[in-house]
Amino acid sequence: MQAEPKRILITGSGSGIGAGIARELARAGHEMLITDLDPGAAATVAAGITGTGGQATGLRLDVTSQQSVDALIAELDQPIDVLVNNAGLQHVAALEEFPMEKWEQLIQVMLIGVARLSRAVLPGMRAQDFGRIVNIGSIHSLVASAYKSAYVSAKHGLIGFARVMALETASANITINTICPTYVKTPLVEKQIADQARVHGISEDEVIDRIMLKPMPKGVFISMEELAGICSFLISPAARNITGQAMVVDGGWTVQ
């Protein structure tokens, strides 16, 4: 059973996973609010969606700024049905060489920003007695990798946050879940490949084979269609009692 068309806001959707999910959900008939720190990137993705007959608006949003979040919510003429917390970034370095301002930035974007925006949309969701929050986590919400201390800490935090919010929203028709995929071929992952090659002293091909795909028995990157399909399921009537869960999409990584 598919969800009726919803108004969906995706953070960090000017590129990468966010843009890919937005395009797929727009094809399913949902109205998309494309938000990004780069308003030009958001506008480009939105234009691509509307150019193929979908509904989309590009908006600037800085999830680390309460003022930016407040301004966006004030600009909207109706509540958000679905929030997809996707905005993210990566920095690969040993902790002793990890700039603390960069460490803090990753936490601000991928954990505090998630709380900030979820907090902002919840009153509207409660008022209409419907809301779905989907966090884009990672395999690193469940396991660790060397040289990614800030990223792993933020992504682990999403699971705990979702569990608490599942309890706080249990009396309303609101759910919150975290999708935890392994690697998706995006510009962020492409940069990680180069960074991992540098810190490990191996080639980029070896990074893909030995670090990214070897732990996955299925041995393939996750697709946008898979992520969008899981989002579609989580906002559908069939998933109304699924909340506070980690939806693991790891090709068998964590069953070993």
* pLDDT for the residue numbered 9: 98
- Give the CATH number for residue 125: 3.40.50.720
pLDDT digits (tens, 9 = 90+) for 120-175: 999 999 999 999 999 999 999 999 999 999 999 999 999 999 999 999 999 999 99
183 carries an active-site annotation:
no
Q: Phi first, then psi: what are they for 123, rounded to 5°? A: -60, -40
Number of domains in the chain: 1
Asked if residue 194 is part of any domain, the answer here is no
Averaged pLDDT score across all residues of the chain: 95
- Contact indicator for 234, 228 with CB cutoff of 8 Å: no
CA–CA separation, 160 and 165 (whole Å): 9
Catalytically annotated residue among 147, 151, 221, 253? 151
Is the separation of the CB atoms in 45 and 21 below 8 Å?
A: no
Q: What is the pLDDT of residue 2?
A: 63
Q: Which domain range does residue 119 map to?
A: 7-182+223-250
- Rounded to an integer, what distance in angstroms lies between the CA atom of residue 198 and that of residue 204? 9
What's the pTM? 0.93
Closest CA to 35 of 7, 64, 63, 67: 63
- 209 occurs within a structural domain: no
- The phi and psi torsions of 138 (rounded to 5 degrees) equal -170, 165
If pLDDT is split at 50, 70 and 90, which confidence band does 209 have? confident
Any domain includes 190: no
